[in-house]
């Protein structure tokens, strides 16, 4: 037996109705104001991300600087054991006769190569802005520096003074010119060392007086010297 199904439209009054199809709004989508708001939010988020990435890169470069200065320090100490003195800075030199990594990267402290280091590292950025001055803020200037002093009168003082740091022997200074994430770009102030609250290694000698701060004027007067006037990070290696 064959069965046939016939489709019938519901008749009026039977209780059956057609469900209406949904209709799209005419002109549905973002308005110009909504688009600009979304764009502003995305731009703000991207700026936060870029600042965060920049900070991470700066801290990474500073970490590398600390590691490399430690390597150079150990190499200099081995040199002193073998020679009973620290090496004399060789040129090409930067400002003030200092041996600096930006002046000639391949020749920077070359006397340490092979015997104490496979190669002498240089600053990750390793550049200097024209017109650079050692004293005062130093943004944009990145290099390592080394100098050996046979002696220095401003390092000698009356040891009975509680603020005297007497150094009457030859010594070397190893330094990092600029750290990106530890020292604000507007420091040190002109004629001043880094403030005491910035706790980074700093070479200092002589007698800065009761305030414990050796200014550039006191250095020029032969009273003391604080190398944080010139470098964000400095070590004194006394023979």
Quickly state the pLDDT bin for 3 (edges 50, 70, 90): very low
Return the closest-CA partner of residue 68 out of 118, 131, 134, 17: 118
For the chain, the first-to-last Cα distance in angstroms comes to: 117
- Lateral strand order in the sheet of 171-176: 99-100, 144-149, 171-176, 233-238
pLDDT on residue 5: 45
| Other CB atoms within 10 A of residue 18 CB | 7
pLDDT at 139 over 90: no
pLDDT on residue 145: 95
pLDDT on residue 123: 98
Token digits for 50? 């870029």
Task: List pLDDT tens digits, range 92-108.
Answer: 677 678 999 999 899 99
162/206 Cα distance (integer angstroms): 11
The per-residue pLDDT of the chain, averaged, comes to 87
pLDDT on residue 130: 75
Quickly state the pLDDT bin for 14 (edges 50, 70, 90): low
Task: List pLDDT tens digits, range 56-87.
Answer: 999 999 999 999 999 999 999 999 999 999 99
DSSP 99-168: EETTT-GGGTTGGGBTTTBSS----SS-B--TT--SSS--TT-B-EEEEEES--GGG---TTSTT-B---
Task: List pLDDT tens digits, range 159-186.
Answer: 999 999 999 999 999 999 999 999 998 9
Lowest pLDDT segment from 18-32, 137-151, 211-225 = 18-32
pLDDT on residue 1: 47
pLDDT on residue 12: 52
What residues have CB less than 8 Å from 181, skipping those under 6 apart?
A: 55, 58, 59, 62
Cis-peptide, bond into residue 92, ω within 30° of zero: yes
Taking residues 219-235, report their average pLDDT.
96
């Amino acid at each position: 037996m064959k069965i046939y199904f016939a489709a019938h439209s519901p008749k009026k009054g039977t209780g059956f109705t057609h469900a209406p199809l949904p209709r799209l709004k005419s002109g549905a989508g973002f308005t110009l104001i909504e688009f600009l708001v979304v764009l502003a939010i995305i731009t703000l988020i991207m700026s936060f991300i870029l600042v965060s990435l920049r900070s991470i890169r700066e801290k990474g470069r500073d970490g590398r600087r600390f590691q490399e200065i430690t390597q150079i320090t150990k190499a200099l100490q081995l040199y002193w054991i073998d020679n009973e003195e620290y090496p004399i800075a060789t040129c090409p030199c930067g400002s003030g006769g200092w041996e600096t990594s930006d002046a000639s990267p391949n020749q920077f402290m070359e006397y340490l190569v092979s015997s104490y280091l496979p190669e002498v590292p240089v600053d990750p950025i390793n550049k200097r802005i024209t017109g650079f001055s050692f004293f005062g803020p130093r943004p944009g200037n990145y290099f390592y520096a080394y100098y050996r002093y046979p002696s220095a009168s401003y390092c000698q003082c009356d040891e009975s003074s509680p603020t005297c740091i007497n150094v009457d022997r030859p010594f070397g200074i190893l330094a990092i010119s600029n750290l990106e994430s530890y020292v604000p770009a507007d420091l040190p102030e002109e004629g001043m060392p880094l403030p005491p609250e910035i706790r980074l290694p700093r070479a200092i000698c002589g007698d800065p007086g009761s305030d414990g701060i050796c200014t550039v004027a006191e250095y020029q007067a032969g009273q003391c010297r604080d190398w944080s006037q010139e470098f964000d990070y400095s070590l004194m290696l006394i023979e």
